[in-house]
């Protein structure tokens, strides 16, 4: 195979306490990342899909944030317990998890209901 | 705008000395990342294109590695001095830099001329 069928970036960013924008992880560790990785491998997608750590994805007010390429599906406020839905519904069955998607108006915006 | 027009992930991975696979950075710092970011901003693409740090992209034998989504263009053995070509030819003019592209047979393979 050449490129990954899907490449999933999970923000691991952590800022100092008191920073003006929030962090996607408390300490750079992400149980969400681990769960996504383990469930993807358990589903037999270990070579077709890569679960990747990333630095700040710049959607900090909507974190924890995940983006799936090449489809460009953005997920926000993703909790560890959402990993099963992302893997089963999206990575296995090809249907993005609508309830977790960031609204287009919330992506790369200087102001939205979550970023005053 | 909604999603980035292009999202460029620059591997920052560093492994301990003597690890079986090589690292994309010596110490987690990447002048390549800084150059890509500064040149992108200088070209007026600071909002349309995000230069992003990433964890291991799993193409370690071809590092330093960069991948551009949503087009899925993989670059390998990218040196700091290649940043200008990536920004000007690809991010500004829309033409991937062919001399830096990873061969499809070298992406996600267990063995290739660079990964014995």
Give the model confidence (pLDDT) of B50-101 as tens digits. Answer: 999 999 999 999 999 999 999 999 999 999 999 999 999 999 999 999 999 9
Chain B residue whose CA is closest to A108: B2
Cα–Cα–Cα angle for A40, A24, A116, nearest 5°?
A: 130
Out of A7, A58, A108, the one facing B2 most closely (by C-beta) is A108
Residues A39, A42, A48, A53, Cα dihedral to 10°? 40
Q: ipTM, 2 decimals?
A: 0.95
pTM (whole model) above 0.90: yes
Identify whether the C-beta of residue A53 lies closer than 8 Å to the C-beta of residue B54: yes
CA distance A88 to chain B (A): 22
Q: Is B58 in Cβ contact with A1 (below 8 Å)?
A: no
User: Residue B2: pLDDT band by 50, 70, 90 thresholds?
Assistant: confident
A28 vs B contacts (CB less than 8 Å): none
Return the biggest CA–CA distance within chain B: 45
């Amino acid at each position: 195979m050449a490129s990954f069928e899907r490449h999933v970036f999970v923000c691991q960013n952590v800022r100092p306490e008191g920073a003006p924008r929030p962090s996607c992880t408390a300490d750079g560790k992400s149980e969400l990342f681990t769960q996504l990785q383990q469930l993807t491998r358990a589903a037999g997608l270990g070579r077709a899909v890569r679960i990747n750590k990333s630095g700040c994805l710049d959607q900090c007010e909507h974190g924890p944030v995940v983006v799936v390429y090449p489809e460009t599906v953005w997920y926000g406020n993703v909790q560890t317990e959402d990993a099963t839905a992302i893997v089963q519904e999206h990575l296995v069955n090809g249907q993005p998890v609508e309830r977790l998607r960031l609204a287009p108006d919330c992506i790369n915006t200087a102001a939205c209901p979550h970023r005053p």
